[in-house]
Amino acid sequence: MRALVWGLVLLLTACVPVAMLRPPEPARGLEASLGVTLLANPFASGNRDPVLPLPYLAVAKGDGQVEFNFSIQWGLRGGVKLGLGPGLALDAGLTVPPLFGPDWSQGVPVVLDGGAILGGDGFYFSPRVHLIGVPTSGGGSWGWAWQASLGTYRRDWVAEVGALGGFRGNGSLLIHLSAAWRFGTAP
């Protein structure tokens, strides 16, 4: 049973990038982040495994106006962040399943996400939407999800709490708490 729970959680996190952990300012130079996301286990029964940890790794490179980023949280996400002004950025990305594991043509999702990052003085809020495509041998299906993240950050760390809802059209809500150390950030 435990293997089934982990398998379902890994499939879900391959679908949608759970942790955002990106402040509104685009990177200046090369930055890296290493952290973890704690999820309320949507498959928990009783007191067994109420929280699931997922590792998080990200790399970003930018000039202070445009940032290209790459993150891994089981799924592989490549994205771009565009700074529009102090405390305001647009962020978009594509998440694909990992190179190992299930056959992509058998229902493993691919996700396009986009949203805004609003903030300043060490805090941010990010609403975003996800377009989820699930390829199958019969053609596949599409669904939408929404996400909202509220975070705080300093030069060498970032933490956030977030909610992900509407996954594939159902009313479930996935709550997460994430934190990461940041390396190589400009002073």
| pLDDT for position 51 | 81
In the prediction, which pLDDT does 132 show?
Answer: 83
Q: Where are the domains of the chain?
A: 1-184
At residue 35, the pLDDT reads 95
pLDDT for 82-137, tens place per residue? 999 999 999 999 988 765 555 555 556 788 999 999 998 999 999 999 888 876 66
Strands 157-165 and 173-183 turn out to be antiparallel
- Cα–Cα distance for residue pair 49/35, rounded to 1 Å: 20
pTM score, two decimals?
0.82
Mean pLDDT by 10 residues, the chain (187 residues): 46 60 94 91 67 90 96 88 96 80 60 94 95 74 88 96 74 85 84
**Confidence at residue 97, expressed as pLDDT on a 0 to 100 scale:** 74
Which pLDDT belongs to residue 13? 45
Cβ contacts of residue 44 below 8 Å, gap of 6+?
A: 5, 50
Instruction: Give the CATH class of 1-184.
Output: mainly beta
* Alpha carbons 30 and 48: distance in angstroms, whole number: 40
| pLDDT for residue 36 | 94
